[in-house]
Structure 1
């Protein structure tokens, strides 16, 4: 809930008068009090079922499923490609937005409930899915949707242009004292930084760049500038379209809307500027609107299109939907591969953490029912 945008508050009846119940703050306060007072404790299963379940991917969906299945009495092993469990909550979301001890304390609780974590294990790369299947009665794929949306324009191959999910995890690893992994060490210090993409990931890039000492930060969004205030008579109780300014954006970034990037230009193989243009409400370039933005670093934060296709997805030869996500319904969560299930962003596509948690819990119910013939787990 700490990184949920709280659509429930937008839907609150009291929001019609701009005074919604602060549901997110209340829930966080209750949970923090629970940890402080020792009310939240491990709940190991009273008896074991003798069944073994593998969870591939320790993001929110995988963690939610693992905890439920362990409490149902199954032996649960979680396989995570990174050095710590948590997925994008640990490696994608900056520390200034969510402290990592929040994840660590939940992992510690789960270990006390019998969940075993195997980190630095990249199923589909360092370990074969087939080998994992042999050792378990069921396997849940919950590896997220990490294939980033690219921008295929001239100059894309210049140095200094990075996906947000290269830049942000580096910073989190740097703070945690981990090795930075593959790729060059990229810092925004002293640079003119341009962030392409106006969502939460773009906002995280802004805050991180400013903390690293960027000379300037500009955020570009292809969508038109939203209104300052929504028309609640038309939008309520749905999530409204309106101008939102995150704490990171409020720290000094310049924001520009209805902008498309035509090409990148550079010197000696390194980016030095973007050539952009204004677009109309159909995203068509407005003639004569071309302009340039100086840039020493460009961060691509335009969302994610699907799971990565060259690891477990390729090895498993698993059925995909028309968007490239693993094909499974939201009832049984079963894939076309026997005893293999899928939940979270790897199944539904890029979405909110709360949706991933919900899918993980529902998938745990489905797996428990498949193994035992029935399930008392909540759905």
Structure 2
């Protein structure tokens, strides 16, 4: 039957990026034996099972000592900066889209992202299976990274994406904390578990409160807020998620309302192009990246009554228009006319288009879906918790 709003907001009242009604409906249809979602659940549980055997990561795992001398401080290196072989002083220069393997050595970025992603995967597995082993592991990952005094990360990213011989940290480093939005949902999904305690909740509220203060007042945080590309959009998603987690609904609402101008009107052209992303060497990837961030903001808006999905400027700039521009390239026979130094990820495009098609079933987006097959997405866990259109079965 149809999922009631009250039912969806009961056990999922602290879920903000995922769609509560989709979560409840998926759980219900799976319990009723719906085979269509089974591959997605099987994939989710297999991914969660892998993580049951993993040792939790912490900021102490790195070899490098941050400039503060405190290993509890997060540190990472700018991924696209390389030593300039023509510079006698070893100055680093930007090679956009070309990841320097040196940046992955002794960096907290990968582990921080993994903790957020893994906790989210395990919390979803707990929600759908009811098995406490997944909740226990998710809680362990969170406690080790954020809460235990011996291993916790200090609540800031002041040394994110530093450049050797240049700056200790940059606003751009905050892009690596975008997984905090998933972490917030993970904590919401753990709310009913005996393995997630009142002390855990209070500890994460304190950590998130300290980090949110740093994020919204520090020079680095405000610098990322001012970014006019995907960095700014993801900053908003991170800040709004944390604000909702902390009960700062006025902040969340104001930030989302401001995103109409700051992120949609300023970043999307009337024809749907996103010029700041098209200027990159990975322009297809970054166009999808920014679109996904805008869609996350639209999902977050649901919690505070701000409709970014249907917001449109007088000259036609909107999330839908950006999606329609990208939808033209669902056709594998249509070449991407901008620089893209790696192969475009058409599956990622397809998943975003399925989400847009669910919001705009009568739009031109549906014409692009013919270039995808149901099996392309049957094992995608996102189907379990995000509002997505279903592709018709192949005839």
Richer in strand (by share): 1
* TM more than 0.5: no
TM-score by length of 2: 0.22
Richer in helix (by share): 2
Greater RCO (CA < 8 Å, at least 6 residues apart): 1
Which protein has the larger Cα radius of gyration, Structure 1 or Structure 2?
Answer: 1
